[in-house]
Amino acid sequence: MRTDIAFKTQDGLTLAGWLFSPGTRGRSPTIVMAHGFSAVKEQYLDKYGEAFADAGFAVLIYDNRNFGASEGLPRQEVDPVLQVRDYRDAMTFAATLAQVDPLRIGVWGSSYSGGHVLQVAAYDRRVKCVVAQVPDISGSMDLRLAIRPDLLPGLFAAFEEDRAARYQGAGPVMLEVVNEDPKSDCALPGQDAYDFFVGSQKQRAPAWRNEVTLRSVEMLNEYEPGSVIDRISPTPLLMLVAKRDALTVTDLALKAYEQALQPKHLELLEGGHFDPYLSGFDQSSQYAIEWFAKHL
């Protein structure tokens, strides 16, 4: 059963989402989850919520601040540090619910939020189990792999100009998340990113908007979630890595996995970055269910 929920962050915003209940009596092991860079919960997180609830878990899913049904300004700005803090506030909220066992809470994240849950699990021992699907490992490397080296100085100059203008009261510079033209200036280049976001917007997520602030990309460049992966232990970590991931690239994820301590487990998924939500959903969700069932 799915119900609408809302909760307050410690800085006073209301984040909105869903609670999936397993239909069993008493308190249930619970999974807290949010989406990746610019995405909203309707972009296939409901499928995971349903699958996890069918397996006996309560599932709390919410839109990140500044996106979808959640509050926050400026709209369409991705702040990874605040999103990590919101995960922790979501856990605090979940622990107040009658159907949630506060001693059995796990976190799931994918792509950008896959990096977030690495950070959450590294610092918050309330997390009893973590699943990081196609996780972001290094924002600065993401940027350098996506943008030609000769274009980086111009991008950094644009960061500085935007920062100076916003300090004087100007609105944020915006850019597209995806664009079909491989030469365009967008946050997430590549045909697979365009197909996923635009396709899911048309089919199931009209609330998704194809824009983010330029500062979102500046903050991406400053974000290094893989740097704390060795601090997650002794919390059990499952990493789901796509074999042909061109966005949060496969080799970076595999290198980070080697730096993590036990207990840990790795599963390699067929396809690219967005296939776990689509053609690989049955496999990606089942791996997560088995890990949560074992450790929650």
Non-local (6+) Cβ contacts of 48 within 8 A are 33, 59, 61, 108, 285, 288
Cβ pair 111, 94 in contact under 8 A: no
Q: Which domain holds residue 37?
A: 2-139+224-295
What are the distances in angstroms from CA 270 to CA 49, 240, 253, 277, 283? 22, 10, 15, 12, 9
Query: How far is Cα 210 from Cα 187, in angstroms, rounded to an integer?
Result: 10
Q: Is residue 11 part of a domain?
A: yes
Q: Is residue 180 part of a domain?
A: no
Q: Is residue 253 part of a domain?
A: yes
Non-local (6+) Cβ contacts of 90 within 8 A are 7, 15, 32, 34, 60, 62
Cβ pair 243, 73 in contact under 8 A: no
Cβ pair 256, 231 in contact under 8 A: no
Q: Is residue 184 part of a domain?
A: no
**pTM listed for this prediction:** 0.97
| CA 225 to chain centroid | 12
Q: Is residue 215 part of a domain?
A: no
Per-position pLDDT tens, the chain of length 296: 999 999 999 999 999 999 999 988 899 999 999 999 999 999 999 999 999 999 999 999 999 999 999 999 999 999 999 999 999 999 999 999 999 999 999 999 999 999 999 999 999 999 999 999 999 999 999 999 888 899 899 999 999 999 999 999 999 999 999 999 988 889 999 999 999 999 999 999 999 999 999 999 999 999 999 999 999 999 999 999 999 999 999 999 999 999 999 999 999 999 999 999 999 999 999 999 999 999 99
How many domains does the chain contain in total?
1
Q: Is residue 182 part of a domain?
A: no
